[in-house]
């Protein structure tokens, strides 16, 4: 309680500073660090109340759009590094929120044709899934090619995507406490580093 009284006096009372001169350095340091910690906690709470509800809403909308955009009938199997699908190819999956700045579609599945760099640059998709590779733009011009040779055997369908969306949502809920702890640490460093 004395600490809160000292904060009030440091703002409103000129006599407080004349008393501080006579106190030890450790008293001043302790006061400064506690004040910095209290400021960091307050700033984190304010930030959390302004950012977290919007972030939670946006993530909820994204999860819904992912599930809505994944075709009910689409099944993609990866076995022994080779992709097969039940869809008529080439098959396109749109972005959950419309288009990105790079392409109209998120993914093109084409296991019948081999990868050609010039053709890929002309595709209207961010990523391409071939029989043996996953190719994707990183940024606007860099392309990353990943072989599926060591990829685990998996069947990707609507239920699989739904289970991953639920797992991601649960993981994000666990990140909220880390947001608070990280916020306090960052704001504390910002206050004390001045």
Q: Which residue has the tokens 């904060």?
A: 7
Pairing state between β 125-129 and 133-138: antiparallel
* Closest C-alpha among 163, 161, 169 to residue 93: 161
CA distance 74 to 72: 6
Task: State the average pLDDT for the chain.
Answer: 80
Q: pLDDT at residue 77 above 90?
A: yes
Q: pLDDT at residue 99 above 60?
A: no
Please write the tens of the pLDDT for every residue from 172-192: 777 778 888 888 899 888 888
Give pLDDT, residue 180.
Answer: 83
**Greater pLDDT, 173 or 81:** 81
Overall average pLDDT of the 65-88 stretch: 86
Q: pLDDT at residue 59 above 80?
A: no
Q: Which residue has the tokens 């296991």?
A: 111
* Two structure tokens written together for 41: 């906690």
- How large is the greatest C-alpha to C-alpha distance in the chain, in angstroms? 83
Q: How confident is the model at residue 10 (pLDDT cuts 50, 70, 90)?
A: low
- What is the number of residues in the chain? 194
pTM across the whole model: 0.59
Please write the tens of the pLDDT for every residue from 126-171: 888 999 999 888 877 788 889 999 899 999 988 888 888 888 877 7
Q: How confident is the model at residue 8 (pLDDT cuts 50, 70, 90)?
A: low
Portion of the chain with pLDDT greater than 90, in percent: 11
Q: How confident is the model at residue 80 (pLDDT cuts 50, 70, 90)?
A: very high
Give pLDDT, residue 2.
Answer: 66
């Amino acid at each position: 309680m004395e600490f809160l009284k000292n904060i009030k006096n440091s703002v409103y009372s000129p006599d407080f500073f004349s008393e501080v001169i006579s106190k030890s350095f450790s008293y001043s340091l302790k006061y400064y660090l506690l004040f910095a910690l209290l400021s960091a906690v307050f700033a984190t709470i304010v930030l959390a109340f302004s950012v977290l509800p919007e972030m939670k809403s946006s993530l909820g909308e994204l999860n819904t759009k992912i599930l809505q955009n994944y075709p009910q009938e689409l099944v993609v199997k990866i076995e022994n590094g080779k992709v097969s699908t039940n869809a008529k190819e080439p098959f396109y999956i749109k972005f959950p929120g419309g288009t990105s700045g790079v392409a109209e579609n998120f993914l093109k599945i084409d296991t019948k044709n081999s990868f050609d760099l010039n053709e890929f640059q002309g595709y209207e998709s961010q990523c391409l899934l071939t029989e043996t590779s996953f190719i994707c733009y990183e940024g606007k011009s860099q392309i990353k090619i990943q072989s599926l040779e060591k990829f685990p055997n998996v069947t990707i369908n609507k239920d699989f995507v739904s289970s991953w969306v639920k797992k991601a949502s649960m993981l994000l809920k666990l990140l909220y406490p880390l947001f608070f702890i990280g916020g306090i640490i960052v704001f504390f460093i910002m206050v004390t580093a001045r």
